[in-house]
Amino acid sequence: MKPDVYSYEPAKGHGLRHDPIPSILAPRPIGWISSCSADGRRNLAPYSFFNIFNYKPPIVAFSSVGWKDTVRNVTETGEFVVNLAVRRLAEHVNLTSKPVRSDVDEFAIAHLTPSPCSLVSGPRVQESPVSLECRVIKVEQLHTLSGEKLETWMVTGEVIAVHIQAELIRDGSFDTVGAQPILRGGGAADYFEINEKCLFKLERPGASAR
C-alpha cells in the first residue's frame, strides 16, 4: 500500500525520475532575455527562473544556472531586456536555448529581428509583443544555508522602459489572454499556454488597482 504523502529531504535526493519542485512551483513565466556584450555581440536566451518582485518601480529578476553569456553581458553593461515569450514564438524561444559559442548570434539562429531600444544599448526582439528595458540593480551568486557558493547567479533589474503592441491594450488594461504567453512547467519538456479557458476573476478584499 502506497503512503498518503510522499516525503523527502532535497539534500538526500528526491528518488523520482524528475525533480518535483520545478513542477510544483509552476507554471513559471519565461524571462526571454536579450543582452549585448561590452564589445557589441548580441545574445538572446530564455530563463524560467524569472518573475516580477515589485510594482513601483517594477523590479524583475532571473536566475542563471551557470555563468552564461547573458550573465557576463549584464555584468559588463548593466543592462538587459525582457521579451515576452508567446505561443506563436515558442519554437523561436526554444531555438535560443541552444548552447552555442559566445560569438554566435541567437537572433540569427532563431530568425528573429533585433530592434533598437530607447534607453538601453542592447536590442529587443521585434517579433515579441512586449519588451521591458531593464538596468541591473544587482548580480549575486547564490549560496546554500552553510554558505557554500553555487554555480547559479541571480540578476535583479529595474524596468525603465516598456514597449507593448497597441492591440494588446484593451479598456486600459493589458490583454494577457490575447498575448498568449507561454509558461514553463517541470519535467523534461512541459510548457503551458494562457488561453480564455484558464481565466477566472477573483477580487482580493481591500485590493486596489495598480
Mean pLDDT of the chain: 94
Answer for the pair 199, 36: CB distance below 8 angstroms, yes or no.
no
Second CATH level (architecture) for the domain 27-193:
Roll (2.30)
Per the listing, cell 547567479 goes with 153
The answer to whether the peptide bond before residue 27 is cis (omega within 30 degrees of 0) is yes
- Does the structure show a pLDDT above 90 at 1? no
The residue type found at 61 is A
Give the mean model confidence (pLDDT) for residues 90-104.
94
What pTM value is reported for the model?
0.93
Cα–chain center distance at 172: 25
Q: Where along the chain do its domains lie?
A: 27-193
The residue type found at 198 is C
Residues 157-169 have pLDDT tens digits of: 999 999 999 999 9
CB atoms within 10 A of CB 202: 5
Rounded to whole angstroms, how far apart are CA atoms 149 and 124?
32
